[in-house]
Amino acid sequence: MKNYQAPNQEMWLGRVSQAQLYLHEKVELASLKNFRKAEGNEVALLGYCCDAGIKRNQGRAGAMEGPDAIRKVMGGLSNHWDSSFKINDFGDLVCKGDDLETQQSETTTAVSALIKKGYFSIVLGGGHDLAYAHFKGIRRAFPEKSIGIINLDAHFDLREVSSRGTSGTPFWEIAQDETDFHYCCLGIQKAGNNCELFRTAKKLKVTHLSNTEFTLAHWARIQKSLLEFMARVDLIYLSIDLDGFSSAFAPGVSAPSPMGFQADVAMKTIAFLAQSQKLVSADVVELNPHYDRDNATSRLASSLIYQLMDDLKA
């Protein structure tokens, strides 16, 4: 893998307890070049350092620095798990210039290899173009299974590819590859998706709830939608786009929105999916440290990943 970069211990910061009281003391460094099979309950963290797709989509560059920003905050979080639950940092895939296609190809290979060896992979973005590569990796690992995508996002990301893929095209690209496309998007904003995108979503039979529906006050409806969606598939891939959150929580993204959803409903959704026993892989995308304030968005991303790992452990 020419884009591969080994993990760096210096990215994991925090208080020193010498008793694994903090995540930076618990996380183990691993290599994609030679790694063992997972032993029971293990998480694999992998960075997708790329904003080429965002640039192609006329967004703000900077998301390629997202993975390390997440690591720096996560390291200081408290560790409440024993040695039976392992967290492995497999380093980064770093996009060279505008070569998004190589980046995606190598990401597909890496995700597939991690899943086949028994890890629950959590990929740290990077732009949402990651989703196309991530899904292909899951598909390669489970060629005979039906895979449902649940995306927490303000945008469908169903733009048709005109010449090359972007951060706005991943789910359209997946739909072209799949004979049976299963996609659920929670948090859609009407103002952020044009009429053609809504028509595409209807044509592809996409399940979606608006940002005004994706709130705790409507949890019964959300749960019903998720249960109906999950009943149709064998496995679930979760993608969390930070620009779907209100900019009060996530200012550091390519496309911030004051009308986005809140952290509480996202956390409850994550817990619900983790308990389903169908969730096999996840990613958090679109963190742009250049526009963050007091690491608010990095802290949100870290909290979401922490919550997911805690729910998986339970």
- 219 vs 151: CA distance, rounded Å: 16
Neighbours of 166 (CB within 10 A): 24
Q: Closest by alpha carbon to 219, among 255, 253, 269?
A: 269
Beta bridge partner(s), residue 4: 93
Q: Say whether 99 counts as a known binding-site residue.
A: no
Q: Say whether 98 counts as a known binding-site residue.
A: no
Identify residue 312 by its one-letter amino acid code: L
Where are the alpha helices (H) located in 117-256, listed in sequence order? Answer: 130-141, 170-177, 195-203, 219-230
Tokens representing 151 are: 């995306």
Can you point out the beta strands (E) in the chain?
A: 4-5, 28-29, 41-49, 85-94, 120-125, 147-152, 182-188, 207-210, 235-241, 279-285
Q: Say whether 290 counts as a known binding-site residue.
A: no
- 233 vs 300: CA distance, rounded Å: 29
Q: Say whether 153 counts as a known binding-site residue.
A: yes
Beta bridge partner(s), residue 184: 150, 207
Q: Say whether 129 counts as a known binding-site residue.
A: no
State the distance between the two ends of the chain, measured CA to CA, in whole angstroms.
Answer: 35
Q: Say whether 155 counts as a known binding-site residue.
A: yes
- 48 vs 63: CA distance, rounded Å: 9
* Binding-site sequence positions: 128, 153, 155, 157, 241, 243
* Binding-site sequence positions for Mn(2+): 128, 153, 155, 157, 241, 243
